[in-house]
Amino acid sequence: MSVEDELRARFQQAAEALRVPKRELSDGFQRSERMRARKRAAEVLSVGVVLALFGASIWLLLPLGKSHDSVQSGGAVNSPTASVSPSAVSSTHPTWLVHSVGQGLTIESPPDWSIAGGGGMNVVSPEPVLLAGTWLFPAGGDCAPTAALDSMPRDGAFFWILEYPSLHDTQEFAPRPEHFSFGDLKGPFECVGQRTYLLLFRDASRLFQAHIVIGPDASNSVRSDVLEVLDSLQVDKEA
């Protein structure tokens, strides 16, 4: 037997004899998401270090006696959003991930979506509690997540959920339907600067408002994903 034939035979036998360790596809997505999150965090950290060094060098170069206020009040930088790492695997979609965003809210999404808690907006009430987009969106905005909206790809989709205090008039908030639908475009809203699909609903005695923005080139599949992601929202009674 030639070297080549012997190798062919032994490769084949070794491969066939291997008991392949079991793996779940969903675990792979989780692992990948964790690695991406770590990479993102490292990128944010390195950008922070560079900005800090830049700021320090400007501060040192400023003439003595001149106020430092002008440096500190420079233009705001939109930081990447503190996206939430997935905590589990969806029980209904093998490739979807479950995200707990705090405030008693859990939501499922395709693995390439980004999910974030409501921080990063300068609004107190109604309180932003969840942001979801088909791409890695930046945080920031006054009364709406305008940084995310400005960076939305034409084929993307984005929604954010606000929570009203329970003292609010509950008549406006219909009980949550079994399946969400878009309804009609509303607005344009002053904060958002464009029209959105607006949903008002009540779940677990809590009052929510969702704004949905769909990119002009978004596929039907993306639109359908948006509703399925919304349908997956789980609300605990106590935030």
Instruction: Give the interface with another protein as residue ranges (CB under 8 A).
Output: 1-8, 10-23, 25, 27-29, 31-32, 93-95, 110-112, 220-221, 224
User: Measured from the CB of residue 105, what is the shortest distance to another protein in angstroms?
Assistant: 25
Nearer to another protein, 19 or 237 (CB): 19
3-state SS assignment for residue 130: strand
Q: How far is the CB of 221 from another protein (least distance, A)?
A: 4
DSSP label at residue 91: S
Helix (H) or strand (E) holding 230: helix 220-231
Which residue type is seen at 64?
A: L
Task: Please report how close the Cβ of residue 209 comes to another protein at its closest, in angstroms.
Answer: 29
**Separation CA 227–CA 197 (nearest Å):** 11
Among residues 6 and 150, whose Cβ is nearest to another protein?
6
Do 133 and 76 meet the contact criterion of CB atoms below 8 Å apart? no
Residue with smaller CB distance to another protein, 6 or 43:
6
The CB-of-50 to another protein minimum distance in angstroms stands at 27
| Cα–Cα distance, 95 to 45 (Å, whole number) | 30
Tell me whether residue 111 or residue 141 sits nearer to another protein (CB atom).
111
8 Å CB contact between 216 and 209:
no
Q: Please report how close the Cβ of residue 143 comes to another protein at its closest, in angstroms.
A: 33
Cβ distance 139 to 207 under 8 Å?
Answer: no
Distance CA 61, CA 64 (A): 9
The smaller minimum CB distance to another protein, of residues 2 and 171, is found at 2
